[in-house]
């Protein structure tokens, strides 16, 4: 059979027929029976719910991803901070070790110096102790105790010889200051074989005069501390004039009068066959 060429009328007829078939297919859902309409509606609602749940889960997943990313960044930041802190601590430990080594070297050198200074300290201590024993007995017990305490601290290792020499020098300066100063004090002296707390006036380190309480006759007991052999002893005023002179000295010091002319019993020992002089 020989094919014939389609005319425009035949082509229009074929297109209209195809369009009708397509329209019929598209309109098929409209022809669903009432029995299936409820099922379709239920499926539609389920589909909407599932789509909503998918969207919610998608949002939750994205939030979880963001949280995980933030946690990873925080962990990385903490790791970097820890590493930096470890580096700082290692540097500090190295610096401390170096400082410890320096201190140990300095300590070894100081210990060597201290060992060399110990004999010097011992000699100075002995010299000052001998001086206090021989000098005017002004508060002697307290001065000797200060030296004994210093010696004990060095022996127990509580004070280095270098530091002890510094304190020993300060003690020597205090002793020199005593030779330049005068003043009124209270201290214990042995008078008539008894230890008594009395008022004393110290004139440098050459004279020590005392005045005690009232005697049986109502008069104040006064006297001077004199050298006797290798030691010192109290000597009461030999005459009323000497007692009055000592009383005048105490009155002057009570009135803060530190300058002037005073005639006092001599603090020097009497010469053999002679009498005590005055100053």
pLDDT per position as a tens digit, 82-141? 999 999 999 999 999 999 988 888 877 777 777 888 999 999 999 999 999 999 999 999
Whether residue 140 sits in one domain with residue 104:
yes
Whether residue 190 sits in one domain with residue 168:
no
Whether residue 216 sits in one domain with residue 162:
no
- Number of structural domains the chain divides into: 2
**Does any domain span residue 107?**
yes
**Does any domain span residue 126?**
yes
pLDDT of residue 271: 55
Residue 215: pLDDT over 60? no
**Does any domain span residue 213?**
yes
Report the pLDDT averaged over residues 15-39: 53
What is the sign, positive or negative, of the torsion defined by CA atoms of 235, 189, 247, 181?
positive
Whether residue 194 sits in one domain with residue 86:
no
CA-to-CA distance for 146 and 172, rounded, in angstroms?
12
Whether residue 142 sits in one domain with residue 69:
yes
Whether residue 108 sits in one domain with residue 64:
yes
Residue 207: pLDDT over 80? yes
Whether residue 189 sits in one domain with residue 130:
no
Return the minimum-mean-pLDDT range out of 18-22, 79-83, 129-133, 173-177: 18-22
CA-to-CA distance for 20 and 24, rounded, in angstroms?
6
Whether residue 229 sits in one domain with residue 155:
no
Kindly state the DSSP code that residue 29 receives in the 8-state scheme: G
The predicted model scores a pTM of: 0.58
Domain boundary among 133, 162, 180: 180
Return the minimum-mean-pLDDT range out of 199-203, 224-228, 256-260: 256-260
Residue 267: pLDDT over 80? no
Its domain, for residue 95, covers 49-180
């Amino acid at each position: 059979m020989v094919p014939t060429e389609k005319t425009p009328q035949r082509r229009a007829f074929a297109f209209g027929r195809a369009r009708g078939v397509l329209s019929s297919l598209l309109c098929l859902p409209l022809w669903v029976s009432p029995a299936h309409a409820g099922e379709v509606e239920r499926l539609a609602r389920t589909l909407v719910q599932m789509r909503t749940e998918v969207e919610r889960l998608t949002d939750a997943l994205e939030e979880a991803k963001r949280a995980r990313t933030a946690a990873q960044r925080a962990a990385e930041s903490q790791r970097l901070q820890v590493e930096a802190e470890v580096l700082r601590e290692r540097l500090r430990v190295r610096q401390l070790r170096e400082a410890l080594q320096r201190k140990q070297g300095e300590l070894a050198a100081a210990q060597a110096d201290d060992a060399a200074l110990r004999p010097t300290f011992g000699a100075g201590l002995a010299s000052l102790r001998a001086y206090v024993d021989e000098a005017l007995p002004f508060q002697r017990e307290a001065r000797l105790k200060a030296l004994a305490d210093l010696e004990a601290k060095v022996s127990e290792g509580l004070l280095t010889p270098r530091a002890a020499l510094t304190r020993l020098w300060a003690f020597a300066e205090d002793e020199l200051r005593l030779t330049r100063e005068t003043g009124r004090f209270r201290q214990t002296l042995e008078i008539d074989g008894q230890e008594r707390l009395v008022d004393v006036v110290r004139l440098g380190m050459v004279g020590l005069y005392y005045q005690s309480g009232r005697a049986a006759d109502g008069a104040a007991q006064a006297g001077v501390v004199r050298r006797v052999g290798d030691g010192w002893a109290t000597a009461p005023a030999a005459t009323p004039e000497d007692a009055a002179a000592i009383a005048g000295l105490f009155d002057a010091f009570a009135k803060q009068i530190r300058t002037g002319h005073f005639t006092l019993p001599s603090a020097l020992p009497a010469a053999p066959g002679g009498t005590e002089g005055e100053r």
